Structure 1
Amino acid sequence: MPKDAAVEEFARLVRALKARDGRSYEALGRRLSVSASTLHRYCSGATVPEEFTVVDRLALLCGADEEERRALEAAWTRADGARRPPTPAPAPASGAEPTPEPRAEPTPEPGPAEPKPEPGPKPTSEPGPQPTAEPAPKSKPTAEPAPEPTPEPELEPVHARVTGLPSARRRRRWGWAGVVAGALAVVGTVTLGAVLLPGKARERADEPSAPLTWTVASDLWKNGCGHTYLVPRTPAPPPEAADARSWATAQGAVDGGETLVRVSVQGKSTAAVVLQALHVRVVERGAPLPWAAYRMDDGCGGAVTPRRFEVDLDRPRPVARALDGYDASGQEGRTLPAVSFPYVVSAAEPEELLVYAGAAGCDCRWYLELEWSSEGRRGTVRIGDEDGAPFRTSGAKGRPVHGYDSVGRRWITSTNSGQGG
C-alpha cells in the first residue's frame, strides 16, 4: 500500500470512530488526555500518533469490538511505518572482527587438558585391572560440574508454578530478558490475586497494585433534602443532610425504598484507566423490614436532576442502567444526556458515578463492582459503604410514614403513608 494511502486509511478509521461516538473533539480529547487540535490532526491524517495506546482508548470509548480494534491497530502500524523515515542498514563490520575465528583454534586445548589424565598413570602403579577402572571414576569428577541439575528437579517445579520465575538453568538460557518477563508475571499474579479479596481487605490489597483510587458516599439525600429511613423505634429529630450518616447509625436506621451512592474515581498517575463496566452484586436478600418509615422532609424538589445509573434491586440480576438527567434551572429546561461506559480517568481527570438503587420487595444487601483496564492489565474493585460493608436498602411500601412537625417538635403520621417504596 502506498505511504499516503496507508495514512489516509488509518485517518478514515479514526474519523469513523469519532463520528460514531458523536462527541466533540474537545469532549473526546479530554477523555483521551489529548488536545482537541491533536485529535483533529489524527482524524485528518496530518499526524499519526506515536503510540497505539491513545487510539485504542478512543476505540474503547466509541464501543469498538475486538475485531475492529485489531483492524485499527494494523492500519496504525502501516501508517506509522509510512511516516517514519527508513532506517539505514548497519554498515558491515570491519573484516578484523572475524579474526576471533582463528582464536577458536585454541579450543583444541582440550588436547592439553588430555595430558592431565596423564597423572592417571599414577593409578597405573596400582594393580593392572584397577588403572583401567580408575580413569572411569576420574572422568566422573570431570563431569561433576553437572551437579547443578540435581537441585533443579526439586526447585524448578515449585519455583516456576508458584512465582512464575524461570529456574536457574532457564535464567542462563534466557538471560536478563527471561528474568524481566518472569518478574512481570509475578506482578500480574499479585494484581489479580488482590482483586479476589473481600471487603476492606481487598481495598488495602489493591492499594499497591491497582492503578486507580476511589471514595464513596452512600448517606446521600435526593436533591440534598429528601430521604426515607426505616427505623425500629421513634427516632431523634431529623438531622442536617451532612450529619445523616451519624444519625442513621445511632438510630439503627436503614434506607427505605432507595439508596443513593456517589463514587468518585481517579487514576493514580498520568496513565489513563478505562472504566469498562459497573455491576451490582446482591449478597443477601430477605423480606422487607416491618419498621415504620420516617421521612426527612415533607417533599422537596431540585432544579437539576443529575444523569445517573438506576438499579432495581428487586430484579433477580440487577443491572446499572444509565439514565438522562434534566436541568430545569433555566427558562427552558434541557436534557442532560446519559453517558454510558466506558469512561476514562487519570490523576488529572477524575469521574463521578451517581447510583440510585431502589427496592420495594426485599431487604437487600449489595455491592458495586467496577471493572477497569490500564496498560495491558485488567481488574475489578468491589465498592461498599464507607466502612467497606455492603450497602443496605429495604422496601418501605405499605409502611406507616411519619414526617417531623418542626413546630410541635415531634414525629407525626404523614398523609402519604403507604408510599416510600
Structure 2
Amino acid sequence: MATPEAEHFAALLKELKDRSGRSYGVLAGRLHVSTSTLHRYCNGDAVPNEYAPVERFARLCGAVGDELVEVHRRWIVADAARRRPAGAAVAGAAVPVPAAPAPAPVSAPETAPAPLPAPEPEPPVVVSAPGGGRSPWARLPRRTRVLIAAAGVAALLVPTTVVATALVGSRAEGGAGAPDRADRAAGDASVPPAPAASGASGAPASPSPSTSPSASSDGPPDGPSAEPGAPGGSVTERSRGGTATGLGAPPAVTISSYNWEEPCGQFYLLDRGPEGVAPPPAPQDRRGWARSYAGVEGGNMRLQLTVQGTSREAVVLKGLYVRVLSRKAPLPWSAYLMGNGCGSGIAPQTFASDLDAGHPVITPVPGTQGDRVVPAVPFPYKVSSEDVEVFNLDMKTTGYDVTWYLELKWSSGGREGMLRVDDGGKPFRTSGMRGRPMYTYGNDEVKWEPYQAG
C-alpha cells in the first residue's frame, strides 16, 4: 500500500511525465528500466531506491531549477517513509497506539520513591483501546511511557545512513569552532585531525575505527566504496548532553551524489594504461568501477550534500569548512574521462573550493535558472524535517594529491556543534592531473582514445 509521501512524490512524477508528452515506453527505454517499473513509480506503488534515476527522469521531462529541487525533496521524504517500519509514527504527530499485553504485576515497594526534580511532560501519543476501555499502555507509569515514547521517536528519526559520533561539543562547554581550528591547521604536507570530544560523562570518548581516518594516506583508498547512486559517505559527531533528535540536535547529512554533473565531466586517475581498462559503465556504477582499479578522482570532485533536520525544530547551518589532512605530489597516473566531457549550467546552492590553497575555504558560486543569473547565497541556511537544503560542492586541485574532509557547523536550541562529512569513514581524496595522459572512450572505435581538451 502506497504511503501518503509516496503518492505526493508520484503525483509530481506523473505531472512531469504528462507535460513532457513522452510515453512510458520511451522514458523507460531512456532510463534503462521496464515500463511497468516506471508505471509503479508514477502511480505511487513504488519509490526508487536511488535518486539517480529520479533525477534523469526529471531532466528528460524538462524539469529545471526549483522543480529539480522539489523532486529531490519529495523523493527524500518518500524514501524515508518507505524505510519507516510499518505502523510507526512520525515525530510530533499524534497517532493511535495499539493495546499492548498487560504488564506483569509488580509488588508495591515498602516506601514511596524519592520525588523527581520536575514532572516529565506527557509523550505526544493519543491512546485508544478497543471498546473504549483504558488500555494497558495507559496503565503504565507515566515515567515509563515517557521513556518508551522517546526511544521510539529517536529510533524513527535517526537516519540509517548517518553514523553519529562527535568531533566537537557545544561552544558553551568549551568546544572550538571551525574557524579557530582551521587557523591552527597549517597548509604544509600533513595536518593532524581534530581530537574527539569527551563523552557525556566527561571521560575521553574512544572513536570508532571506521570513523577515524589516519593523518595521511600513502596509497589509493582500499576497501569497498559507498554504494554508487545511494546516499553515501559518513557523518560523525559526538555531542555532550542533549538528545539525538529534536531541539538542540544536529541535522542529518547524506551524500546524494559524488558527481552532480553526471553523466558527464568526471576524470578518474588509474595506475594503468588504457589497454587494461574496461569501458566506463552507467553513471550510477562509475565510482565503484574506479574503486575496482584503486582509482582516485582527478582534478575536481563534485559532491552533492543533502541536509535535513530531524524534527520540525529549526537547525541553523552556520558554515561549511574544509579540513586538509595531507598534501603530496599529484599521482603520476593516467586520467580517464567519464561521459563525453559535456557540462551544464551551475545550479543555485553551489559552492567551490581550491584544495591547493594553504587554508581552503568554501565559496558560494552564482547559479543560473534558464537565462537568469541567480546570485551566490552564502551561509547561514536553515533546515528542519520539512525543509531540506541540497548543496553542490566543486572541490578542485591541480598541483597536489590531497586528502581532506568537510565540517558542517550547526546550532539549534542554544547548542552548536560540528559535523564531520567524509567518504564512508575515510577522508576524501582528490589529485591533480596536469600533464598526465588523458583518455576518453570513443564512440567510433569503441576503445579508449587520447582526449583533446577543447
Compute the TM-score of the two structures, normalised by the length of structure 2: 0.47
After TM superposition, give the deviation of residue 349 of structure 1 in Å: 0.5
Q: Distance in 1 between matches of 2:346 and 2:117?
A: 59
Which residue does 1:314 correspond to in 2? 356
Instruction: State the percentage of identical aligned residues.
Output: 40
Does 2:445 match 1:374? Answer: no
Deviation at 1:212, TM superposition (A): 1.5
Corresponding residue to 1:176 among 90, 107, 117:
117
2:313 alignment partner, one of 264, 271, 274: 271
- Please report how far the alpha carbon of residue 391 of structure 1 lies from its aligned counterpart in structure 2 after TM superposition: 1.0
- SS of 1:211 mapped into structure 2: coil
SS of the equivalent of 2:339 reads coil
Q: Distance in 1 between matches of 2:354 and 2:379?
A: 19
Say if 1:411 and 1:229 are closer, same or farther in 2 by CA, change over 3 A: same
Match of 1:359? 397
- Residues 257 and 350 of structure 1: CA distance in aligned 2, closer, same or farther (over 3 Å): same
Deviations along 1:10-48, whole A, 9 cap, x unmatched? xxxxxxxxxxxxxxxxxxxxxxxxxxxxxxxxxxxxxxx
**2:375 aligned with 1:337:** yes
* Amino acid aligned to 2:269: L
Say if 2:237 and 2:419, in contact at 8 Å, map to a contact too: no
The Cα RMSD (Å) is: 3.4
Question: Could you say what secondary structure the match of 2:288 adopts?
Answer: helix
Aligned twin of 1:134 = none
Change (3 A) 1:400 1:389: same
Change (3 A) 1:225 1:391: same
Specify the SS of the correspondent of 2:236. Answer: helix
Task: Please report how far the alpha carbon of residue 304 of structure 1 lies from its aligned counterpart in structure 2 after TM superposition.
Answer: 5.1
**Aligned amino acid, residue 316 of structure 2:** V
Q: By how many angstroms is 1:303 displaced?
A: 4.8
Q: Which residue of 2 aligns with 1:203?
A: 236
1:219/1:244 contact within 8 Å kept: no
- Letter matched to residue 381 of structure 2: Y
1:293 aligns with 2:335: yes
The alignment status of 1:242 with 2:299, answered yes or no, reads no
Alpha-carbon distance, 1:263 to partner: 1.0
AA in 2 matched with 1:381 = L
CA contact (8 A) 1:293 1:396 kept: yes
Distance 1:354 1:381, change over 3 A: same
Counterpart of 1:393, as a letter, is T
Counterpart Cα distance in 2 of 1:223 and 1:243: 11
Matched, 1:227 2:168: no
Opposite residue 250 of structure 2, the aligned amino acid is P
* Paired residue total: 234
For residues 264-285 of structure 1, the C-alpha deviation after alignment (integer angstroms, 9 at most, x for no partner) is 1111111110011110001111
Aligned partner of 1:391 among 428, 448, 453: 428
Tell whether the 8 Å contact from 2:354 to 2:397 is kept in structure 1 after alignment: yes
Residue deviations 1:114-149, cap 9 Å, x none? xxxxxxxxxxxxxxxxxxxxxxxxxxxxxxxxxxxx
Q: 1:306 to 1:194 in 2, by over 3 A?
A: farther
Aligned-residue offset at 1:306: 4.1
The C-alpha deviation readout for 1:197-235, integer Å capped at 9, x for no partner, is: 576377375693643111114521525311111111132
Secondary structure of 1:339 counterpart: coil
The alpha-carbon distance between structure 1 residues 340 and 200, as it changes in their structure 2 partners (threshold 3 A), is same
- Aligned mates of 1:380, 1:239 — CA distance in 2: 36
Do the aligned partners of 1:220 and 1:241 also contact (CA within 8 Å) in 2? Answer: no
Q: Distance in 2 between matches of 1:348 and 1:307?
A: 18
Contact 2:260 2:304 in 1 (8 A): no
More helix by share: 1
Matched, 1:261 2:303: yes
User: Are the aligned partners of 1:308 and 1:325 in contact in 2 as well (CA < 8 Å)?
Assistant: yes
**Residues 1:337 and 1:365: Cα distance change in structure 2 (over 3 Å):** same
- How has the CA–CA distance of structure 1 residues 223 and 249 changed in structure 2, closer, same or farther, with 3 Å as cutoff? closer
Provide the rounded CA distance (Å) in 2 between the counterparts of 1:203 and 1:226: 30
CA 204–339 in structure 1, closer or farther in 2 if over 3 Å, else same: closer
Secondary structure of the 2:284 match is helix
Structure 1 gaps of 5+ residues are: 1-171, 178-185
- Going from structure 1 to structure 2, the CA distance change for 1:230 and 1:316 (only over 3 Å counts) comes to same
User: Any conservation in 1 of the 2:335–2:437 contact (CA below 8 Å)?
Assistant: yes
Structure 1 residues 324 and 375: alpha-carbon distance in aligned structure 2, compared to 1, 3 A threshold: same
CA distance in 2, matches of 1:400, 1:281: 30
Distance in 2 separating the partners of 1:194 and 1:365:
27
* Structure 2 residues not aligned, in runs of 5+: 1-113, 119-168, 176-196, 213-234
The answer to whether the 8 A contact 2:260-2:392 is kept is no
Match of 1:208, as an amino acid? Answer: A
- String of CA shifts for 1:73-112, please: whole Å, max 9, x gaps: xxxxxxxxxxxxxxxxxxxxxxxxxxxxxxxxxxxxxxxx
Any residues of structure 2 matched to 1:4-403 within 5 Å, and which? 176=117, 193=198, 197=207, 200=211, 203=236, 205=238, 208=244, 210-217=249-256, 219-220=258-259, 222=261, 224-233=263-272, 234=274, 235-303=277-345, 305-327=347-369, 329=370, 333-385=371-423, 387-403=424-440
Q: Give how far 1:248 is off.
A: 1.5
Q: How far has the Cα of 1:194 moved from its partner?
A: 6.1
Please state whether the residue corresponding to 2:278 is helix, strand or coil: coil
2:10 aligned residue? none
Assess, with a 3 A threshold, how the Cα gap between structure 1 residues 271 and 288 changes in structure 2: closer, same or farther: same
Q: Separation in 1 of the partners of 2:262 and 2:117?
A: 59
How far did residue 371 of structure 1 move?
0.4
1:303-347 Cα shifts (integer Å, max 9, x gaps): 5544411000000100000110123x4xxx111221111111101
2:237–2:420 contact (8 Å) kept in structure 1: no
Consecutive aligned runs of 4 or more in structure 1 exceeding 6 Å deviation: 186-189
Report if aligned partners of 1:307, 1:336 keep a CA contact under 8 Å in 2.
no
* Matched position secondary structure for 2:429: strand
Deviations 1:239-298 (A, max 9, x none): 221112211111221111000111111111111100111100011111100001111133
Structure 2 counterpart SS, 1:176: coil
Q: CA deviation at 1:351?
A: 0.8
TM-score relative to the length of structure 1: 0.50
